Structure 1
Amino acid sequence: MKLHLFSIFFFLFCNWTEAQTDSATSADYKKYFKEVQKTANNSKTLWKRSLYGPVLLIEPETRKLYANEADGEGRLTLTDGVYTGIFPESLNIANTSIDWAGKRWAMVMLPLAENKQERINLLSHELFHSVQSELGFPLTHSENNHLDTKDGRIYLRLELEALKHAVLEPKHQIALSHVRNALLFRAYRQSLFEGSKADENSLELNEGIAEYSGLIHSDRNKAETRRHLVGQLSRFGKSPTFVRSFAYQTIPIYGVFLRTLDKNWNLNISGQTDLSEYLITAFDLKIPNDLNEQIAKLEKTYNGDLIFKEETERELAQLEKIATYKQLLADQPHVEIPLEKMSISFDPRNIFPLEDMGTVYPDIRITDSWGILIVENGGLLMNHSWNRISISCPFQSYGRGYSGNGWTLLLEEGYQLIKNKQTGNFELMKIKN
């Protein structure tokens, strides 16, 4: 299965900047390109190269695009110093990197933030994704479903609360003590869930390092960096789920403190680095033998009572939601669609695991050889291999299209939904002539 993974924390549903441009012109886009090019050229020491390269800015509603250079297939037209065109319906729009029209692009959804530093942060994040394989960081995918459990969320929140204390602390040595406490919460959380250390590491190497690069390229001063990081943490705490988005918070903050010890620390790591172990060593932390006891003592310092209360209440509500989706997408008759050459975009803030069956994506758009599926009320991506998606019954058909409760499916010629008489489920099949 050909899988296109999108880095979409700043996605259609979750762009966290407070002010947005809504009437930008070609002149504005030309200015934005120059801004990020200048920053990239001034920040070459970060990765020993400029991250600047091909960029696509795309309006989701109209699919109109603005590019900083010509494509490799002559699809774009030069207009007022900016290359323009229409992005194909067959491809998904998200903040990511993409191979299209003969080039590898950083793709970013419009509108962009009014704030210059926010714009550069986002554009630089996606530019990093365009070249990360060349820098030794292969594109990876991990679900981190343990971060949707009560204990997983509690000890991630405690880690982030300790990091927030570190960011706000003016005295450097005290701030580093909060960083070490954050790493203790991390070590304890990872000890609770088998395989979680590797899963978290995968996402942090992919999205965390990209976001750290965006942060450094944004060229904020210390006070601006502090406000930005604290603001990000505050907004992140309101996210329905953490499983695909936590790395945007952790690595940028650890990275800022690592820069006080070694400005070029990022040049010492690669896609094979165990970041948790790297951080433990870099901050000279000794994991105590009585880690459980140490954690119990630290919890109250970092708002533990409130976090435990909130997560206990959330767990009860989550169990009800899981029961509803399990019935809708697994227990009762449903539609199952195989995934072969999938391209996918989704909101990473609201996904959640459905026991051991897979992950529910409330908002998702999939294109494949069979057509286009748009889901706005929950689809279940089965298993960790992402080889099929389940959506709800009943549905209606119209020509080559189908629509159900919160989803639409537009099929290519020759595909149909056929009922499996044994299971009662409907399956997508290609009908031979």
Structure 2
Amino acid sequence: MTLKQIGDIASHRLSQERLACEFSDVAPLLDATAAAAASSRCHYCYDAPCVQACPTQIDIPGFIRKIGNGNLKGAATDILSANPLGGICARVCPTEILCEGACVRNHQDDKAVAIGALQRHATDWAMARGESLFKRAADTGRRVAVVGAGPAGLACAHRLAMAGHQVSILDASPKSGGLNEYGIAAYKVVEDFAQREVAWLYSIGGIDVKNDVMLGRDVTLSALRMQYDAVFLAIGLGGVRALELEGETLRGVVNAVDFIEQVRTADDLASVPVGRRVVVIGGGNTAIDAAVQSRKLGASSVTMAYRRGVETMGATWAEREFAQTQGVTIVTHAKPVRLVDAAGHVTGVEFESAEGGRFVIEADMVLKAIGQVLDANPLAAGLLTLDGSRIAVDSCGRTSLDNVWAGGDCAASGGLDLTVQAVQDGKIAAESIDTFLAASAIKAA
């Protein structure tokens, strides 16, 4: 079997017109009539299960009632006061297993209230009008460094700035946003929304942003602790877990997160190269996003292979179903054992089935999506959990260092590895930091 028979990796597989269609908004905004109809289905439950299912505890019945009454500013205020990244979360949250999954309507007519779409309706209204909604308290003179401008870092910075503290955000990337900017499928977040939301969040004032600054390369944790009254680490998981298989370094084998970033940052989607036959190894949201975008870029066949069953996949049932409607084939109970080599280029992946038999899926491009790992190099060893996989924190996000907190994917907070959970981690840490700064100010006086 030759590489020519398998296919090749190339750009410009589809026309600009076709790509514009493929990468249009996967869930278009509700209009006023549709929003009114959707809001009318809410029972405005007391002690609502949807609120309990939301990591950021948004008053969902409250904001939906306001939408029904035409008070979009009030609805947006309810949402963004609990979740300052409520716009992006309305687009990427797995609502089917969170708020909408808990909706009592599921037990009545098998269709939850469209909470995510209603949340987007209100927050997009506020963003489009540049509604600031919140005011910054008087300056406290206290300075906090936030390392990482992803969801956790942004949420923490916003809360601290509202409290009157001066916040410096240090981020290794050219743009703020973290995974919201670089790690989410392009069809989920269109029209540069991630940057528009970041600009809205920064408009509170009191936040200084330094991009292209990396912890361990440009600044050390010990230096930050000396220069600032408190430090919040929101550095994410910068490393990619290896397959540790023969052939992993072959041409055509790519980290899925790098592929997604390439799609997200491309000025011209047609310029992004993709294989004719793509195999994605993994079962989480990153695997889904990589697989679907491969199809949308023009791959003839895309197979997503997972070593266990669907019940243990990180991707939700809704994500799996969407991928299949886009032409992605999902193969379960398939353990990768070898990447097939032809003249230094991958031509397939050999798998072992649950029964022990082996089979090969042909591929000219393999995307690895089996998880990310913490880059612990710039951190003190004492900050980490016993297995070194995350930063150890308490329920308030405190680390073992007295003026250092951590949250988001890099921290062992016990929550879900979701954008909305990272936002909540940032909020909780900000409240703890604010209490710490107030206490230290009293002590200094």
Question: Structures share a fold, TM > 0.5?
Answer: no
TM-score (norm. length: structure 1): 0.30
TM-score (norm. length: structure 2): 0.29
Structure number with greater CO (CA < 8 Å, separation at least 6) is 2
